[in-house]
Amino acid sequence: LNPDYGMFKEYDESRTIWFNPSSFEADEHFVMIGIVCGLAIYNFTIINLPFPPTLYKKILGEKTEDLSDLAELSPTTAKSLQKLLDYSESDFCDVFCLNFTIDESYFGEIVSKPLKPGGADIEVTQQNKHEYVKLYVDYVINTSCQGHVEAFKRGFLKVVNKQVLGLFQAKELMALVIGNENYDWKVFQENCEYKEPFHKNHESILMFWRCFKELTEEQKRKFLLFLTGSDRIPARGMDSVTLTIQRSGDPNFLPVAHTCFNLLDLPEYSTKEKMKFKLIQAIQQTEGFGIV
């Protein structure tokens, strides 16, 4: 999914990605990503696929031709096009100086693509501006990447039954893949399990939860990322996230997370201050793997 590979374009403003029309990758690669997306739903696994809801609307067979669809990728571009539609003065052509083309970057070179036959010679006016906006949105969301999207959809439908999709709206389907942000830290604590000699009333466990409650909301999310590999929670909610805490040996070490099992190795620290310091150190270093 890394935009450096050329399969997708990154939209920094919305922190989403979209299919790159200039990609030379074979359709099989997009089919594979669709399969991975479908498997995430099948296995109730959260994965970081930063596609906008527009993609899931396409999977459900809904139309994607409005400015709101473009806004999910590029809010600034959508606002600019809306201002164009709202402008009613007679100097429209002098102000905007547009024709029926769209500029795109192809490997560092700006290429002008016509939105309709002869588009470079057709000026955008008050009379045809609605057609221009409609063609612009359609090009970015649909026609420029239609083959790639269809390949992705084929892969997705290899795993997810098409009839089941009718039960979901686009944002619900997206939540099944990437999770949501409906955090309930009280439920998170109540669902926690402990391995002997730890138990819910053990001094170290009571100390741990006091430290956890003192963390900022952002630090709690980082702890979730540290523990599970994602800072989002499954569509089924916090009830489906079970933390297990077991004792580890040396109190000079940091807490260790086994992300495959939501398992936390917690040393018995002598003070709450030391535990909180070590915990914050651990959650700030959430990248990479080690053999424990």
The one catalytic residue among 145, 192, 211, 260: 260
267: left (phi over 0), alpha (psi -120 to 50) or beta: beta
- Give yes or no for a contact between 136 and 115, defined as CB atoms under 8 angstroms apart: yes
CA 51 to chain centre: 6
Catalytic residue check, 37: no
Q: Using the 8-state DSSP alphabet, how is residue 19 labeled? A: E
- Give yes or no for a contact between 269 and 251, defined as CB atoms under 8 angstroms apart: yes
126 token code pair: 């008050």
Cis omega (within 30 of 0) on the bond before 251?
no
142 token code pair: 């649909």
- Give yes or no for a contact between 283 and 219, defined as CB atoms under 8 angstroms apart: yes
Single out the residue of 60, 65, 56 nearest to residue 16, CA to CA.
Answer: 56
- Give yes or no for a contact between 25 and 8, defined as CB atoms under 8 angstroms apart: no
Catalytic residue annotation: 260
